[in-house]
Amino acid sequence: MSTTRRTLMMTALGAAGLLAVPAYAQTSEVKVGLIAPMSGPWARQGELMIKGANLAIEHINAQGGIKSMGGAKLKLLTFDTGDSAEKAKNAAQRMVSQEPDLVAATGAWLSSFTLAVTEVTERAELPMTTLSYSDQITARGFKYIFQTSATADTQANTALPAILSVGERAGKKTTTIGIVQDNTASSVSFAKALRETSIPAAGLKLVVDETFTPPLSDATPLVQKVRSAKPELLMLLPTAVSDDKLMVEKLSEFGLGQGKLPVVANGAHFAVPEILKSVGPELMEGVMVTVGNWAVKGQESIIDDFKKKTGEPWMTQDSLSSYGDMWIFKEGLEKAGKADRKAVADAIRAMDTTEGAAKFFPGGRIKWDDKGRRVGATVVIVQWQKGAPVAVYPPETATHQPIWPKN
C-alpha cells in the first residue's frame, strides 16, 4: 500500500472513530464510591465521611486531577447501607451491579456492615479501603480490602497501657477496670483483646463486664452494675450516639460522671458534635476516646478548610479518613494510568510511602501487609476538654496534654 493511500485510509478511519484508542485514554471522569450509613442510627457518621471525601475530591480535581490520565477528574458516588448488615450487603450488590465502571470504594463505617459489604466487593474485585476496626475484616484472606486503621485488638493493646500511664503520671494507680459494650463486631473485637491480653498484662482486675444489643432503651441496669462494682476505670464501648448519650447521662445521674470516674470510649461516634449538643460539655469533660484516626498537629490547613466549607466545629476520624482514602485512590490511579479496578488494586497494594495520602493517617505511612492491614497503624486518643475533643496521644502529634480525673 502506498504511503499516500495508507495516510488517506488512516484519516478516514480516524474520522469515523474506528481507530483502536484505549478507552481509558478518553476518560475525563473516574468514579469512586463511598458506601456507609446515610439513614438510621449511624447516619451521622456517613454524612461526615461524605464531607471529608468531597473535600478531598475538590482538592484533587483543583490540583489537576489524575495527571497520568490526562487530568481526569474524580467523581464520588454514594451508597446507603441503611441500618443493618443485610441492608448493607444489598447496597453493595446494587453498587457493583449498577456501577460497573466504579474503580474503588471506601466504607462502610460499622465493622458489621463492612464485613457484609466486603463479601460483595471482594467477588467483584473492587478495591475497598476501610476505617472499620474489626480484625475479622482482614482475617479472611481477601485481596481487595485495605484497612487503614489499627485493628480493634491492636487499638486495645496500645490504648490501655497509654491510658494507665496517664493516670500514673497524675498520681493515680489503677487496679480495677470495667467493660460495658454493645455486641457489634468492632466492640466485640476491642473488648476481646482487653479481656485476653491488655487487662491481664496490666495486672488489672475486671470487676464488671456487660454486653448489650443496640439500641439501648434504658441504661439504668448497666450503670447500676458499674456503681456496685466500683471500677477505677471504665471502658465504655457502644457504637451509636443515642446509646452514648444514655450512658453518659446515666453515669452522671448515678454520681459517676463529670470526672468522678475515668471513662474511655472507642470510636469517633463518641466525639461528634451531636453529643455535645445533646449532653452538654459538663458531662463530656474528661471523657477519653480511642480512635483509628483524628485531626492532629501538622494538619491545620486541611482542618481549617474543612471547618470553613462544611460548618463543622472539628474534623473527626470519619471525615479525615475518607479524605485520606480519596488520596489513596488518586495515587493508585496515577500509578495504574487507567480506570481499571484490578490495576488500581495492584497499585494500591504496592504502595510504600510516607508522602501524599500517608500524611492523613496515624503512623504516617501507607504500606500494607499480606492481609491488607496498614503497616504501622496506631491508635489516637482524644479527650473532651472545654467542650471539644482534642488529640492527647501519641505525644508527638498531640495538640493538648491529657487530664486525669482528680477524684
Which residue in the block uniquely carries the three cell numbers 485476653? 196
* Confidence (pLDDT) at 86: 98
Q: Express each pLDDT in 258-296 by its tens digit.
A: 668 999 999 888 998 988 888 999 999 999 999 999 999
Q: Express each pLDDT in 369-379 by its tens digit.
A: 999 999 999 99
C-alpha–C-alpha distance, residues 211 and 6, integer Å: 77
Domain 26-150+299-376 fold is Rossmann fold (3.40.50)
Q: What is the mean pLDDT of residues 190-204?
A: 96
More confident residue, 1 or 307: 307
Q: What is the mean pLDDT of residues 163-188?
A: 93
* Confidence (pLDDT) at 5: 52
pTM of the model: 0.86
Q: Express each pLDDT in 317-339 by its tens digit.
A: 999 999 999 999 999 999 999 99
pLDDT tier, 390 (very low <50, low <70, confident <90, very high otherwise): very high
pLDDT above 80 (res 3): no
- Strand partners for 129: 106, 146
pLDDT above 70 (res 26): no
Q: How many Cβ atoms from other residues are within 10 Å of residue 229's Cβ?
A: 17
pLDDT above 80 (res 384): yes
Residue pair 357/365 in contact (Cβ under 8 Å)? The answer is no
Task: Give ranges for CATH 3.40.50.2300 in the chain.
Answer: 26-150+299-376, 153-291+381-393
* Confidence (pLDDT) at 258: 66
183: cell is 455486641
pLDDT above 50 (res 14): no
Q: Express each pLDDT in 36-83 by its tens digit.
A: 999 998 999 999 999 999 999 999 999 999 999 999 999 999 999 999
Q: Express each pLDDT in 86-117 by its tens digit.
A: 999 999 999 999 999 999 999 999 999 999 99
Spell 318-348 as b/e; 16+ CB within 10 A means b. bbbbbbbbbbbbbbbbbebbbbbbebbbebb
* Confidence (pLDDT) at 274: 87
Pairing of strands 352-353, 288-291: unpaired
* Confidence (pLDDT) at 19: 39
- The architecture (CATH level 2) of 153-291+381-393 comes to 3-Layer(aba) Sandwich (3.40)
List all residues 6 or more positions away from 278 whose beta carbon is below 8 Å from its beta carbon: 241, 245
